[in-house]
Structure 1
Amino acid sequence: MSSDLSEFQENKYRLPTNVKPSHYDLTFWTDLKSLEFGGLATIDLDILRETSAIVLNCADTLSVTEASIHCAALETNQVQAAQIVIQENLGRVTLNFLASLPAGSKAQLKLKYNAKLSGSMVGYYKSAWKNGDHTEYYAMTQFQPIDARAAFPCWDEPLLKATWSITMISRSETVNISNMAVESEALYNANSAVDATLTDLLSTLPKDAQWKTTKFQKSPPMSSYLVAFANGPLAYLEKSIVMPLSGRTVPLRVYGKSSWWGEFCLEVTAKVLPLYEQIFDIEYPLPKLDIMAAHDFDIGAMENWGLITGRTRVILLDPKKADIVSRKMVARIVSHEVAHMWFGNITTMEWWDYLYLNEGPFTRSLAWLDTHRLFPEWEVKSNFVNTHLYRALSVDAKRSSHPIEVECPDANFINQIFDGLSYSKAAAVLRMLSEYVGEEQFLKGVSVYLKNHLYGNSVTRDLWDGISAETGQDIPRLMNDWVSKIGFPLITVTETSNGIHVRQDRFLNDGTPETEENKTIWNVPLRILTVENDGQVLIDNKAILDGREKTLPIDTTKTFKLNAGTVGFYRVLYIPERLSKIATEAAKANSVFSLSDRIGLMYDVAALANAGLAKLSTLLTLTDIWRNEQNCKYHIFSSPFSVKIYPSCVDMVWSSVLTNMGIILSAFWEHPQIVDSLRAFISTLYAPLVARLGYEFPDGESVDIVLLRKAAVSGAALGRDESVARELRRRFADYLKTGNDAKIPSNLRLAIYTAAVRYGGREEFDALIKIIENPAKPASKSAAITAIGKLENLDLAEELFSYILNGARDQDVVGFCQGLAANALFFRRLAQFFKDNYDGFVKRFGTNSMLKYLVTSGLKIFSRQVHHLQGCLPQQFPLQDKDTSRYSMGLAQGLETIRSRIVYIERSSQDLSQWLTEWEQGSKL
């Protein structure tokens, strides 16, 4: 006889393996009046080793009132009641039995439980919305990574897949949804009930209400974190599609408090679901796919199988008036979550160490790929560089980074790896692999991987084996270091009489790595672009740097560039003369370099300047070169309708410039002369574009022009251009006067809100608060939250800090703080606010991910107070005596940012000041 407690003691972060669940039958009730729920979990078990104790997951918030087991293999063949031992703070419960369960037998475990519906945004929780003067609720789930245990007792580990049958009991006027399609639904009649479980559960519920039962079809095998259900006054939009492989008709629905603007979400889902079925050559296995928009949601969106959930902002929009950024975001996120129906849901990572197998390689990179197929005018591939690649390289350039594949021993660490490395770096390195082996071969290899692990679990080697089988290449040798090692290489290019010499060293954002930090030798696809005598462009896609350094025969008298298309996960350092030649070529109307090349070059130069490997003035010179070339292309056109946007002039280059200028401004905020001069420079970049393109967005305009105008206005506003600020304020004043937002184009909403609150007072502040609390559109609320942090009225700022504490929804607190974190007037005040309220935030966000993001926002504030830091964590930052286990990685990265920012400012201030002085003198000639 064995209780397996010794195994539990040895590995307290993983469940014992003496038993394995095969099927869950969940029957539970939800009462949105009392804000409570409860039910009965009946779990079929395989007894793998003889045991008299069963350990499973159960959150402290869940009260297990009864537990029993039946095992036919026992001679008594009787139901055994369990002794219930709660293991507080571990999310587990131990059930002890008098008689041991024999190895190889089967058993059925029953557990009765109940709990309150909290507002925690994890587990099974309540979400509130205003209906006139009163508040209404609906209840919904968010389980990833380890919160299914807060809704029912279970084996809450991804490897322990089982099938699921769910029955929901609710008030009759509400709607129930879950992963699977409804099998039956009926009003509960106590006189005709034959189900003893229902009778028992309903006996404790209010007798003055009409209850109903909704039974859902049995699911395929899936992990507990993918189980989902919701109950409440939900409305929906619906359409059906015919799937290409099976020929089945699959209904699609978008749920919310009303049928608010779900058309675009449905349109995207209807396109990508059959597209993925064709790409992966695997039928979508479920009978339907629902998407639910939530008012209170911890993260952006969640890929629950058959029931995707997410914030209203990422699901709903006005299809006729929505800004292009919102349309892109909804399309990208919906595509991402639909891709999860295969990656993560059919085939699931074995443990959270392999989270990137779900999040990065496919759901993130392929969502961008397929959004490009559906909306080619959006230049999605270049946008990938501007977002994911930039984000991942920025984080991975720190010593405090972590590998894509990282050991996750405990729950606190699991939540931390949902970051830019598991998502964006994973997507970027798999995109690099796809370009190297060829997209078609890559996707076929991915299909092999999925087919080999249908309804199962996987590890990294399984993916490499699938792609190797299809391509015939040694994928593990090529890719292992990219996912198992920290960091990425800097490729230094020097020129010789015979060609170029390339060398790789680890890139760090604060400069040259120490010897111990520079041991990894990556296999680097160099993607060398060259130009022949006849002007033909060639890309050597097979050139690999597989050692520390190598010499390559290239004619350096002609144009060349490494990392063509910016698809490689590395940075490149050229000699200054070559960089100047590349920049000049990139500025040409018919340049051999793509939009992605230009964006990547801009970010490389900025990162090299930050690391001290180039001057910061080089970035400004590059920007000035491209500005001058681009401006001369526009002046020959007379109206937005006739503007010709050359490939080198689309908005994403201007957006990358805007990002870099914003970073410099925030770093040098304590240098007023630099700030004033830099703003003047920024204004000269963007104000002429505004003068040419105006503020209106006529129907039928190209996406390029729409986004360029948006970037131009945002850039001119960042530069504090007076004429642009005046026009933006005028448009908001019209809204205040009329209540009509017709003069606030959706693409300029954030810029107009920001100008209104920055230059305005009480009336503008109150108007934004009203938008936040009762938005006409989800995007309006997000823009107002970001904009209101840019206010410059000290008294109103204090009101905002009070509102964050007492009026803001939990999901929005980080957004408010991030907005304030970009406002130099309140850097010190926000730091004090964070210190004063830290303990309250810990309690308020005790179970969700908000605390992690709040801490990193706070650290950004301190990273900007360099004159008060002296290279170390300030004493006023309230973490020295705190439990930082929930955000230790973000804390380490933030402190490293503080240290590197100090060196960056000290190293670059004189260079930057000198360049701006010379520019000002030149501009006056």
Structure 2
Amino acid sequence: MATSAIGIESASPSAPSFTTLRVAEPELTTANSLSASPTALPTPSYRLPGDLRPEHYTLDMKTFLDGENSRFEGRVLIKVKCEKDTSRVVLHSTDLLLNTDKVRVGDKEITGHEFDTQNEFYIIKLKEALKSGSKYVIEIPFEGNLTTSLAGYYRTSYKDKATGDTKWVATTQFVSVDARRAFPCFDEPEMKAVFQVNMIRRKGFTSISNMPLAKSVQLEDDWFRDEYVESVRMSTYLVAFVVSDFAHLESNPGNTTFRVWARQDAIEQARYSLEIGPKILDFYEDYFNVPYPLPKMDMIAVQDFSTGAMENWGLITYEESCMLYEETTSEINDKEEVTVVVAHELAHQWFGNLVTMKWWDDLWLNEGFAVYVQGLGTDHVQPTWNHPDTQAVRSLLKIFSIDSLKSSHPVSNNIQHQSEIRQLFDYISYVKGYLVLRMLNYVLGEETFRQGVSRYLKTHQYGNAVQDDLWASFEERLRDDSARDSSRKEAPRTATVKQIMDSWTLQTGYPVIHVMRNYEAGTAELTQNRFVTDWLGRSSDDRESLWWVPISYTDPSNALLDISTKPRFWMNTSNATLAGLPKKDQWLLLNVNATALYRINYDAENWDLLSTALRTEKNHGEIPTLNRVQIIDDAFNLARAGLLEYSLALNILRYLHHEREYLPWKAAFANLEYLSRMTKRGGGYGPFRIFVRTLLTPVYNALDEPFNPTVAGDTLPQIKHRAQVLDWSCSFGVSDCEEKAVALFKIWQQQTEDPDVVNPIPVELRSVVYCNAVESGGEPAWDFVWRRFLSSNVAAEKSKLLSALGCAREMWLLHRFLDMSLNETTGIRKQDVTYVFKSVATSSSGFYIAKEFLFSRIKDIHSYVSPDFSRVGKYVEGVSYLMSTKNDLEQIKQFVELNSEYLKDAKFAVKEAVENVELNVQWHSRYYSTVIEWFSAHANEELFA
């Protein structure tokens, strides 16, 4: 082949001058002095040595989209500054073919090439050392295959609805360490540089990248070269480019051109994202007082994507269900999901992109902030949704659960190897990170918090930061506030913002505050400990852990007048005293509006006062909604830990017959779900089912037309509440719920009109109806839903249908479903394999099938999810939910031991799963009999007397 369009000599992937760097291969063929012997590197060995710092990349990429033979070839020129003398160049590259004959480092003579497969380093050895303070240009030609790995530069496909033809797309996913799969680079977040990207693509395709297109030049044989404007300074994991035949919609509000891209068949579903995206972007500019620094924003929806979305600067990539919304097919929950994810990714344009964590230890600075800010953005464009409270409750329920495990980890974590980075993209980094920021906002006040954030962004823009930089910005803002207004009244603190917040980000877990009231003296003694579900198995470290806890409280006389979330005082010792409390017959409530991350265990008398207040219809509203959520969740989890009688927790549920709000019921269902799992595989499930039916029947009957999804004037929380009540009612045989759900499905199944066009099932109830119909309908229902899944053009609808397929009772159907999930040709996309597994593993019929599938096919699973081996942890997590016997525990421990090779990159999730099984076994031993006796005694009585 002649000189290619990008100015490098083309070579076949099998040409001897190219050498493959593949982490998965234990031995590699030597070529052109490239040896497999590892080079000694500074500690930690997986980090770049730091003797070279990139300043500018020129990246030329030529994309060949041709089905399974799709590939790319390119050349990268990296301008580097030498920070200290060195006779070698160490950078990242993996799964690439490097033309070592054409590699250049300025005018220096190259004496050899090495690589470190474990750390994915490509090392160029030089005869003469590079000099500190000097600048050099490194040139590396390379080639690679466009695989279906969902990592690096990869390929995906879709079916054209009109022609049935398969269409191909090449797209990127670089976070966290996969830019090196697309081009050789210094692939660490602190190694920021300017990028000049040039894409060479065939006629009929369009390319897009982070920056606006500068010019497009036609080359020979229907090839085009798209040259993009130089980027701002950014990290490698934020570089992005896509080659596709997608359509787009455009908006030009203010100074930013905003475009959304999708398949031609789905482009109309992108209008909602185009509507809210510019509004959220403008809101963030105003809120942070920092302008969005790029002239354009592209958002693109692809069918195969490893995560919900990726915040590449100026080119956000989404899985379709996270960006596309179809009014007549998608639930309002789907609309909420799209809004939240768009708001999250746009928040990253500041948190993560403009200011980036120095190293992945502080991933939470990106993700915790984005979760916090997504709530603001969502509330801005959908103010009637009550999203801030919904987000807070979802987050508190999740973190209270997983952060009470010994296997949890701090928000700011010490990474031991790059294989651990992917594992940190978890609830602790995202959700606990958000919750500590939410707590800080309530402590500081909205204006001080916002100004502190703005100071942080302006101080570190285009650079990198650690969490101490954030605390310093808040501390400086507090000093400014105090200097301006000496009359400010705040709870005295003897610690800095850093000292207070370090106790929340550098320690694992959270505290429980024990409250022991002296009713005659009007005082209360408070003590704090780390809360762990395995209370009897606490370590000495758990007992000695201390937090700076902001204590707020209220009582009946102040509940409606004084619900200030400002702390009355700071508790940073193991015990403290409250004085001036209400008289004997009045309840005390700590942590107003659940603003801080701690549980509360009151003395028995105060628990009784709170329970009585809740059961009194006219009084229960005096307790703020989020505190009703926390009372329910605290009671059940304190009982699970052995700190509270289960009868007290279960009796609290009696008040729910006059509870009309979504969030307290959500907390109740979350805790009933655990009891359901713990009783499902035993005889105790019968009394539990009867109890749940007794609890839900009056609530179900009170619904106005249960299967009418919306009643005039219903808010989003009310719609959600109806859906969760129906979900539980149908599952537990309440009244005619299941009968009505199945009848609706049969109308759809038997109609003469095209079922892919006309669906009589209300969109808000489809998840409930689909699952119940598949569970009771056998193979005909399963096959019908499968056909609808294959033919649906709406990603959110496909997700509901796919999940429902796991509800089947027939073992052979579930076996087939799991086998299909590891076969790309079936129509189940690789991004959905863990979703499929969990839908089977957590169903009544599927647990044993899923466990057998995991235990027998772990090698196949590990190979299929490559290179993101952390996803294997989702499988182990999936089967752990229902494991609760000693035999289960022995089996999972043996499985983990025998398959350590396949589980090593998912060790955080695996440890958590094993600990959960241990706790389930403990629960069975300690509480099963007691709880079942209570259910049996109360199952058929009038609960609400």
Q: 2:182 aligns with which of 151, 172, 179?
A: 151
Whether the 8 Å contact between 2:58 and 2:77 is mirrored in structure 1 is yes
Corresponding residue SS for 1:364: helix
The aligned counterpart of 1:521 is: 546
Corresponding residue SS for 1:521: coil
The aligned counterpart of 1:737 is: 750
Could you tell me which amino acid in structure 2 is paired with residue 898 of structure 1? V
Whether the 8 Å contact between 2:87 and 2:126 is mirrored in structure 1 is yes
Report the TM-score, using the length of structure 2 for normalisation. Answer: 0.88
Q: Which moved more, 1:505-514 or 1:811-820?
A: 505-514
Structure 1 distance, partners of 2:458, 2:889, is: 56
Q: 2:400 aligns with which of 393, 399, 402?
A: 393
Name the CA shift for 1:758/1:433 in 2 (closer, same or farther; >3 Å): same
Name the CA shift for 1:528/1:849 in 2 (closer, same or farther; >3 Å): farther
Deviation by residue 1:702-731 (Cα, 9 ceiling, x = unmatched): 324322221221121222235111111111
Could you tell me which amino acid in structure 2 is paired with residue 479 of structure 1? M
Q: 2:655 aligns with which of 618, 625, 638?
A: 625
Structure 2 distance, partners of 1:923, 1:561, is: 29
Whether the 8 Å contact between 2:803 and 2:836 is mirrored in structure 1 is yes
Query: Does residue 451 of structure 1 match 2:458?
Result: yes
Structure 1 distance, partners of 2:558, 2:417, is: 59
Corresponding residue SS for 1:797: helix
Query: Does residue 611 of structure 1 match 2:637?
Result: no
The aligned counterpart of 2:816 is: 799
The aligned counterpart of 2:326 is: 318
Could you tell me which amino acid in structure 2 is paired with residue 230 of structure 1? V
Query: Does residue 549 of structure 1 match 2:575?
Result: yes
The aligned counterpart of 2:140 is: 111
Query: Does residue 176 of structure 1 match 2:183?
Result: no
The aligned counterpart of 1:28 is: 61
Corresponding residue SS for 2:876: helix
Structure 2 distance, partners of 1:304, 1:870, is: 42
The aligned counterpart of 2:517 is: 495
Deviation by residue 1:45-87 (Cα, 9 ceiling, x = unmatched): 112222221010001344444443354xxxxxx4645633233
The aligned counterpart of 1:215 is: 227
Deviation at 1:409, TM superposition (A): 2.7
Deviation at 1:855, TM superposition (A): 3.3
Q: 2:730 aligns with which of 713, 717, 740?
A: 717
Name the CA shift for 1:711/1:540 in 2 (closer, same or farther; >3 Å): closer
Q: Which moved more, 1:669-678 or 1:435-444?
A: 669-678
Whether the 8 Å contact between 1:525 and 1:568 is mirrored in structure 2 is yes
Deviation at 1:103, TM superposition (A): 2.0
Structure 2 distance, partners of 1:416, 1:913, is: 38
Deviation at 1:477, TM superposition (A): 1.7
Structure 1 distance, partners of 2:440, 2:306, is: 32
The aligned counterpart of 1:888 is: 907
Structure 2 distance, partners of 1:287, 1:138, is: 25
Structure 2 distance, partners of 1:535, 1:655, is: 24
Deviation at 1:693, TM superposition (A): 4.3
Name the CA shift for 1:534/1:234 in 2 (closer, same or farther; >3 Å): closer
The aligned counterpart of 1:561 is: 589
The aligned counterpart of 1:265 is: 273
Provide structure 2 residue ranges, at least 5 long, that are not aligned to the other structure. 1-37, 480-494
Could you tell me which amino acid in structure 1 is paired with residue 724 of structure 2? A
Whether the 8 Å contact between 2:196 and 2:228 is mirrored in structure 1 is yes
Name the CA shift for 1:812/1:682 in 2 (closer, same or farther; >3 Å): farther
Name the CA shift for 1:326/1:836 in 2 (closer, same or farther; >3 Å): same
Structure 2 distance, partners of 1:253, 1:763, is: 39
Query: Does residue 18 of structure 1 match 2:18?
Result: no
The aligned counterpart of 2:347 is: 339
Deviation by residue 1:875-905 (Cα, 9 ceiling, x = unmatched): 3567455353211111111111011111112
The aligned counterpart of 1:837 is: 857
Whether the 8 Å contact between 2:614 and 2:655 is mirrored in structure 1 is no
Aligned residue pair count: 871
Which aligned pairs between 1:101-250 and structure 2 lie closer than 5 A?
101-131=130-160, 132-189=163-220, 209-242=221-254, 248-250=255-257
Q: 1:905 aligns with which of 914, 924, 931?
A: 924
Name the CA shift for 1:722/1:61 in 2 (closer, same or farther; >3 Å): farther
Whether the 8 Å contact between 1:679 and 1:719 is mirrored in structure 2 is yes
Structure 1 distance, partners of 2:913, 2:296, is: 43
Which aligned pairs between 1:757-768 and structure 2 lie closer than 5 A?
757-768=774-785
The aligned counterpart of 2:504 is: 482
Corresponding residue SS for 1:539: coil
Structure 1 distance, partners of 2:440, 2:839, is: 37
Deviation at 1:531, TM superposition (A): 4.1
Deviation at 1:616, TM superposition (A): 3.1
Deviation by residue 1:487-533 (Cα, 9 ceiling, x = unmatched): 11001111012322111011001224233322221000112123437
Could you tell me which amino acid in structure 2 is paired with residue 527 of structure 1? S
Whether the 8 Å contact between 2:81 and 2:135 is mirrored in structure 1 is yes
Deviation at 1:174, TM superposition (A): 0.5
Structure 1 distance, partners of 2:381, 2:167, is: 38
The aligned counterpart of 2:492 is: none
Whether the 8 Å contact between 1:731 and 1:744 is mirrored in structure 2 is yes
Query: Does residue 88 of structure 1 match 2:117?
Result: yes
Name the CA shift for 1:282/1:385 in 2 (closer, same or farther; >3 Å): closer
Q: 1:668 aligns with which of 656, 659, 679?
A: 679
Corresponding residue SS for 2:576: strand
Deviation at 1:162, TM superposition (A): 0.2
Structure 2 distance, partners of 1:567, 1:256, is: 43
Could you tell me which amino acid in structure 1 is paired with residue 627 of structure 2? D
Deviation by residue 1:292-341 (Cα, 9 ceiling, x = unmatched): 11111111111111111121111111145532211111111111110100
The aligned counterpart of 1:205 is: none
Could you tell me which amino acid in structure 2 is paired with residue 820 of structure 1? V
Structure 2 distance, partners of 1:82, 1:391, is: 55
Whether the 8 Å contact between 2:301 and 2:319 is mirrored in structure 1 is yes
The aligned counterpart of 2:291 is: 283
Structure 2 distance, partners of 1:482, 1:540, is: 18
Corresponding residue SS for 2:41: helix
Structure 1 distance, partners of 2:858, 2:574, is: 47
Query: Does residue 777 of structure 1 match 2:794?
Result: yes
Corresponding residue SS for 1:730: helix
Name the CA shift for 1:573/1:598 in 2 (closer, same or farther; >3 Å): same
Corresponding residue SS for 2:269: coil
The aligned counterpart of 1:197 is: none
The aligned counterpart of 2:936 is: 917
Whether the 8 Å contact between 1:615 and 1:911 is mirrored in structure 2 is no
Could you tell me which amino acid in structure 2 is paired with residue 574 of structure 1? Y
Whether the 8 Å contact between 1:682 and 1:719 is mirrored in structure 2 is no
Deviation by residue 1:386-441 (Cα, 9 ceiling, x = unmatched): 31122122111011111011111312111111111011111101110110110111
Q: Which moved more, 1:609-618 or 1:414-423?
A: 609-618
Structure 2 distance, partners of 1:533, 1:83, is: 76
Deviation by residue 1:827-863 (Cα, 9 ceiling, x = unmatched): 12211110111001111112025633433334425x5
Whether the 8 Å contact between 1:21 and 1:45 is mirrored in structure 2 is yes
Structure 2 distance, partners of 1:839, 1:451, is: 48
The aligned counterpart of 1:309 is: 317
Corresponding residue SS for 1:770: helix
Whether the 8 Å contact between 2:834 and 2:874 is mirrored in structure 1 is yes
Deviation at 1:146, TM superposition (A): 0.2
Deviation at 1:470, TM superposition (A): 0.7
Deviation at 1:359, TM superposition (A): 0.6
The aligned counterpart of 1:641 is: none
Structure 2 distance, partners of 1:487, 1:416, is: 18
Q: 1:726 aligns with which of 739, 742, 747?
A: 739
Q: 1:570 aligns with which of 579, 590, 598?
A: 598
Greater than 6 Å deviation, 4+ residue runs:
none
Aligned alpha-carbon RMSD (Å): 2.3
Corresponding residue SS for 1:433: helix
Which aligned pairs between 1:815-834 and structure 2 lie closer than 5 A?
815-834=835-854
Structure 1 distance, partners of 2:412, 2:559, is: 46
Deviation by residue 1:110-167 (Cα, 9 ceiling, x = unmatched): 1100011000000000111122433221010001110000000000000110000100
